[in-house]
Amino acid sequence: MTRLISALLLLLSSAPGFTAPADISVTDKVVIQRCVIDGPSARMIAVGFPGGFNYAFDAQNGAPVYVWQGGFVDFSGETLGRGGRKCEILGAKQSLGTATNPLRLKDPDSLPESIVFRGYRRNPDTGTPTFRFEVDGHLVEQSIGSPSEDTVQISLDFEHTNTGNKFYHLDSSKHEQVALSEGLRWHRPGVVAIPSRINKATLTISLRNVEEPYVRKTQQLSGAQLYSYYCRACHSNDGTNLIGPTFKNLFGRSQDVIRQDQTDTVIIDANYIRESITDPQAAIVKGYENVPMPSFATILSERDLEKLMEYFKNP
Ligand code: HEC
């Protein structure tokens, strides 16, 4: 059923006149979005891959901070000062266990004196970003990927081998396992040592299962948006009957339905509408026995139902 709904949503989003909700969704290319997002600095960048892998990167400190599966970000939040917009993650986020400043040169315990963000370049085929930094004057490139479900790979590329020993602070106790590429070793728990001669390093993190399901957060959509988003593929509001009956003059209309194999006539009210949405097979509109309506019981919140109800009074 979820598949059917996604297919319908896809169909809808390509239909002319469809107003997309405010979340930015990822289709076939990696999406990069600067926004004010929960994290250690004000310079966070959200990156979303097709297929539902997403991460947030702190550009000020050069650290991937967390990952999430599911939707990308909801951009409908209030506009904050400094030209930023607050955005919310659509999914269950997991910390990557990186320190605020994960990268250290020479001494694992002293913070770099300067970290200068040099922007990112994108892979021309996939759109994947590689972030570029100067850490105490040494150019470092960092990219993040998810080679398989539940694994995250952090790749580091140091421009020169004359940087000396390098260290990356990562709390592996947050994960199922962390595998290091050749030549790397644990300096101590939480600190990976990258020897001087090595200028390419990969840390492969196997994520723990999260309790929270990878669901989209409930979005604040208006009644009209909910209708466009979830119902319009099957229900018109102009009197035309599509796969389901029209919503025009829905309230107070008398309708023949089949309930428990018996024909019954109902006057449509809020209770009946509510039941039609959350338990659509309880009473089936006569003449529409062949195509079942999907249940929205787990998709729409109580607030969504109330908004839809308001919308039906005045579609
Ligand atoms: C895949 C198509 C489909 C989608 C999507 C769909 N419906 Fe339906 N709906 C139907 C069909 C078919 C019926 C008639 C059969 C029945 O009663 O189950 C129906 C019946 C109804 C009825 C009863 C109408 C009447 O005249 O008695 C209501 C109310 C309703 N739907 C509300 C909604 C709402 C609200 C949404 C969006 C949140 C929605 N539907 C999404 C197919 C759909």
Q: Is the Cβ–Cβ distance between 268 and 252 less than 8 Å? A: yes
Output the six-digit token pair for 250.
Answer: 């829905």
Q: What's the mean per-residue pLDDT of the chain?
A: 83
Average pLDDT over residues 208-221: 60
**Predicted pLDDT at 2:** 41
Closest-lying ligand 1 atom to the alpha carbon of residue 272: 29
CA of 4 from ligand 1 middle (Å) equals 14
CA of 291 from ligand 1 middle (Å) equals 10
| 245 pocket-lining for ligand 1 (C-beta < 6 Å) | yes
Q: Which value, to the nearest 10 degrees, does the dihedral of the CA atoms of residues 180, 181, 186, 192 take? A: -90
Average pLDDT over residues 4-18: 40
**Predicted pLDDT at 84:** 57
Average pLDDT over residues 37-41: 79
In this prediction, residue 195 has a pLDDT band, given cuts at 50, 70 and 90, of very high
**Predicted pLDDT at 224:** 85
Over the stretch 89-113, which tens digit does the pLDDT of each residue have? Answer: 777 788 999 999 999 998 999 999 9
Handedness of CA 141, 168, 172, 100 (dihedral sign): negative
| 294 pocket-lining for ligand 1 (C-beta < 6 Å) | yes
CA distances from 306 to 76, 164, 254 (A): 20, 62, 22
In this prediction, residue 131 has a pLDDT band, given cuts at 50, 70 and 90, of very high
**Predicted pLDDT at 218:** 45
Handedness of CA 94, 99, 104, 109 (dihedral sign): negative
CA of 72 from ligand 1 middle (Å) equals 28
